Amino acid sequence: MGIKEEPDMNASVCLSIDNHIATVVMCDRERKNTFTSHFVSELIDVFSRIEQHPTIKVVVLHGYDNYFCCGGTKEELLQIYEGRRVFTDLNIHDILLNCKFPVISAMQGHALGGGFILGCYADIVVMAKQCIYSTNFMKYGFTPGFGSTYIIPRLFGDSLGREMLFSAKSYHGLELQQRGSNTKIVDKEDVLSVAFQLAQEFIDKPRISLLALKRSFTESVKRQLPAYIKEELAMHELTFTESEEVRSRIEHFFGR
Check if 236 is active-site: yes
**Average pLDDT rounded to a whole number, residues 138-166:** 96
Stronger pLDDT, 63 or 250, i.e. the higher one: 63
* pLDDT exceeds cutoff 50 at 1: no
- pTM score, two decimals? 0.93
* pLDDT exceeds cutoff 60 at 21: yes
Q: What is the pLDDT of residues 52-102, one digit of tens each?
A: 999 999 999 999 999 999 998 888 888 888 888 899 988 999 999 999 999
* pLDDT exceeds cutoff 60 at 130: yes
Residue of 38, 53, 236, 252 marked catalytic: 236
> What DSSP assignment string belongs to the chain?
----B---TTSSEEEEEETTEEEEEE--TTTTTB--HHHHHHHHHHHHHHHH-SS--EEEEE-BTTEEE-B--HHHHHHHHTTS--GGGG--TTHHHH-SS-EEEEE-SEEEHHHHHHHHTSSEEEEETTSEEE-GGGGGTS---TTHHHHHHHHH-HHHHHHHHHH---EEHHHHHHTT-SSEEE-GGGHHHHHHHHHHHHTTS-HHHHHHHHHHHHHHHHHHHHHHHHHHHHHHHHHHHT-HHHHHHHHHHTT-
